[in-house]
Structures are given as structure tokens and as C-alpha cells.
Amino acid sequence: MTISPPTRDRLEAPIVDLFLWPDSVQIELKSGALWMVERLAANAYHVFPGHGREDGDVAWPNIWVAPDMTLDETVGQIRRQVFENDGAE
């Protein structure tokens, strides 16, 4: 097994913290933006923003009106949110 070196994306990611759950990942960016990736099935995912409340809790309004995304589509969406617009919606 060969372990490849970290990619540019991993080295320069503006990610502050990751919270890993069995079927989801919560991402906190340096900009303060919060994102959730939720796995619904083997190749069905949702990506949606979180909203910080004044009391410090996070609301995850999972109101999904688009079709489920494949893994490739989900990775593309996360790359766009994290690297192209610094986490803004």
C-alpha cells in the first residue's frame, strides 16, 4: 500500500474543525461558515449550510428541494464552498 503525500487542497483547507458522525460530517470553516454533509444511501448525499445562533448553538435547516447528489457531485460542491468562495452560501 502506498500512502500519497497530502494534496494542496488538504494543506490549504480553510477548515477549523470537523465533527464526524456515522452518516454525516459537520464542517466549520475559518470564515465562520458551517456546512453539513449528510449520507442518505450508498451514493446519495445532501450538503447544506448551518446557521449559528446567538446562544452558540447551530441550526441545521435541512430543507432539501434538489435531487440527491452522487459522491462526485458532493465532493465538487464541498470543493466549491470551501475553496472558491470561502464558505459563503
Query: Domain ranges in the chain?
Result: 12-84
Mean pLDDT, range 2-13, rounded to an integer: 53
Cβ(69)–Cβ(47) under 8 Å? Answer: yes
Non-local (6+) Cβ contacts of 63 within 8 A are: 48
Predicted TM-score (pTM) above 0.75: no
pLDDT in tens, 11-58: 566 888 999 999 999 999 888 889 999 999 989 999 888 988 889 888
Q: State the Cα–Cα distance between residues 34 and 28, nearest whole angstrom.
A: 5
Non-local (6+) Cβ contacts of 78 within 8 A are: 27, 35, 37, 47
Q: State the Cα–Cα distance between residues 56 and 53, nearest whole angstrom.
A: 5
Cβ(15)–Cβ(82) under 8 Å? Answer: yes
